[in-house]
Amino acid sequence: AKIEELRSRHEEMKKDVEEAKRRAEEAKQRADELSKQIEEAEYQLMVQREDRLRQLKELLEAQTESEENEQMRIERKRMDMLSERKEELEKLKEKLTEDEQAVWDYEYQQLKTDKEREYANSIRKQKLKEQKEKERIRQQEWEQQDREIEKALTTRSKEEKDRLIKEANELYKEALDLYREQDFVGARAKFFAVDSLIPGYRAAKIYAERAQNHIDNMKYKEEVDNKEEKNELQKEILEDNINSDGDVSDQVKTPLDTEIEKAQARIARYEQRQIEKQLKAQEKQEVLAVKDNSLELIKERESLAESNEDRTLKEEEKDLKLDQKKQLIKDSRKEAEERRVKIQVNALLNEILTFTEQEKALEVKEKQQQFDHLLEISNISSKYKLKMQRKLQTKQAKVLRDLEKQKRKMEVISKKREIELSKDENRQENLRQQEMSELTEKIKREEERLQKEREKYKDVLGTQRSAKSSAKADESDTLTERFKRLKAEKKSSGLEKELESLRDRGEQSDHIELEKIVVMRQAKLKKDRERIQQEFDANIERLYDKAVATYRSGRHEQAKELFLEIDSLKPDYKKSHSYLSKIEEKLTNKIPKQSLRQQMRPQVESEKSRRDVIFEALDSVEKGF
């Protein structure tokens, strides 16, 4: 049942992995589609940029203005291209909803992390696969080793049995030879050695007991003989003493005679003992002859004993083999159970480490409980349990340390990015202020120059009018005199028409010259006005792009200030009013609800913007001419 449960869990895990792979593939496809769209948009922008650059080169070749104006035009074209590119990107993003934009941004940001996680999971799966392969190879090695051990045991037991039987047979023959030669001590040692090698082998135990009995009898007889010899010696000594003391005869024996007599007595006793020993040896031979007659009976008994011993040996071998097989089966089951438990423990350990890396506290707690329960109910050694617990603690601590390091690293990177963004904002703010100051100075210089030219033109025009009026007066005097004279001379002629034509021709030439000068000045002013308008629009565009980027980065206060400044320079520019309304909604908790435009421009009704003042001045200059 446990194996089936594990299989079902394994199948579920496989399904989950396949589902995760499918989702990853879908996300990857969506990311690829988005990346393709971005690449197409970038390609289109690049083509447009190339066209713009080509047009710009043509314009630069055609222009003959000063170097400063050329640089300004190049910068303006570049800013126009950037603004167009940003507008196109905004249009592309505006086609999507807010949720789709959020999903797009999230998937685009998480694409790299997903790939890294997929790579880590593939490495982990590869390691698990290698570990399973190693376990399978180890299992095969263990089974092969078990088979070799069983085979070696069978061959070894057979060889050992043959060797023992052969050695016991040789010792048994040597012991029988010693027993026949009446060397009972050596025979007893040999028979005992045979019985120790193979208990109950033939009649070794019986012969050993008989040899021991013979040895005991011989010892007893020797002791009796020694006692008899001692008694005889004592009797002889007493007799000698009695004979030496009880002689009443007057004979006197020399010491030499006494010594000779003693020696003769000893020789006689020695011969008597030798004869007795020979008699005893003959008796023993007769006894052995009687015993030899019963050798056939002994052989029959030995054959029966051998058959019985073979039966007992075979039964013992069978029992030994059964015990060995039972022990091997028991050991193999125990080892298989231990291996299964170890595999489960390693799998749980890897799952705990995976959930720890993913910072899933509930899953880590659940798997930790399963891990502890499995170690508690398993029959593996306490040493291995302690080892796995320490391994889990060390690896989990290492994973936590790595996560902490990663968090600190991300914090440092975010701080660096914030510092860089703040520096970039300050730099852009300084550039913007510098550009605005330069623009105001140029406008002032242009106003002064126009005023001077206007005054100069008025002076020139006044002198020309006075000169022309005097010339007209002189000419009128001459014409009147001529008219009178001609009228007096030829009243009926057509000179009146000629005079009228001359008068009209002089007035018409003055008006034509004046109109030419005015048209030239108006064209120049219009050109300057268009140039100033373009520079102003480019600066407003840059300021608007910066405000939008600041709003998207989440810095609403700074974005609010920039949009307010844009609204003060050029009201209702693009979507500045909508952005201000969005900022107002997001800052309701910090700022009271009121019209940001009223808060921004409380004096709009009473004061005119800088833009209006500049264009009114230009209009007045144009109208003045």
- Answer whether residue 597 is part of any domain: yes
What are the helix and strand counts (H, E) for the chain? Answer: 14, 0
Q: What mean pLDDT comes out for the span 613-623? A: 52
Residue range 67-81, pLDDT digits in tens: 666 667 777 777 777
CA distance linking residue 415 with residue 187, whole number of Å: 101
CA distance linking residue 46 with residue 40, whole number of Å: 10
Residue range 154-166, pLDDT digits in tens: 766 677 777 778 8
Last-in-domain residue among 321, 347, 364: 321
* Pair (440, 313) in one structural domain: no
- Answer whether residue 141 is part of any domain: no
Amino acid at 130: E
* Pair (435, 564) in one structural domain: yes
Length of the chain as a residue count: 625
Residue in 521, 390, 392 with CA at minimum distance from that of residue 454:
521
Q: What are phi and psi of 248, to 5 degrees?
A: -105, 0
Instruction: Kindly give, in sequence order, each residue whose CB lies less than 8 Å from that of residue 41, ignoring residues fewer than 6 positions away.
Output: 88, 89, 92
Contact present, 541 and 90 (Cβ < 8 Å): no
Q: Is a pLDDT exceeding 60 seen at residue 472?
A: no
- Answer whether residue 388 is part of any domain: no
- Answer whether residue 281 is part of any domain: yes
CA distance linking residue 85 with residue 611, whole number of Å: 26
* Pair (453, 575) in one structural domain: yes
Residue range 331-355, pLDDT digits in tens: 666 776 777 777 777 888 888 888 7
User: What's the pLDDT at 363?
Assistant: 79
Q: What is the mean pLDDT of the chain?
A: 70
Residue in 395, 387, 350, 398 with CA at minimum distance from that of residue 370:
350
Q: Is 66 left (phi over 0), alpha (psi -120 to 50) or beta?
A: beta
- Answer whether residue 348 is part of any domain: no
- Answer whether residue 109 is part of any domain: no
Count up the domains in the chain and report the number.
Answer: 2
User: Where is pLDDT greater, at 380 or 616?
Assistant: 380
Q: What mean pLDDT comes out for the span 403-425? A: 78
Q: Is a pLDDT exceeding 70 seen at residue 244?
A: no
Contact present, 567 and 577 (Cβ < 8 Å): yes
Residue range 25-38, pLDDT digits in tens: 887 787 788 778 77
Last-in-domain residue among 267, 295, 321: 321
Annotate 362-384 with b (16+ C-beta within 10 A) or e (fewer): eebeebbeebeebbeebebeeee
Name the residue range of residue 525's domain.
420-486+497-624
Q: What mean pLDDT comes out for the span 388-392? A: 82
Tokens of 215: 């040895």
The model scores a pTM over 0.75: no
- Answer whether residue 510 is part of any domain: yes
User: Where is pLDDT greater, at 19 or 332?
Assistant: 19
Determine the 3-state secondary structure of 438 from DSSP: helix
* Pair (473, 593) in one structural domain: yes
- Answer whether residue 532 is part of any domain: yes
User: Is residue 33 within a helix (H) or strand (E), and if so which, with residue range?
Assistant: helix 2-62
Last-in-domain residue among 276, 302, 321: 321
User: What's the pLDDT at 67?
Assistant: 63
User: Is residue 104 within a helix (H) or strand (E), and if so which, with residue range?
Assistant: helix 98-180
Side-chain half-sphere CA neighbours of 469 within 13 A = 6
Residue range 476-490, pLDDT digits in tens: 555 455 555 655 554
User: What's the pLDDT at 287?
Assistant: 52
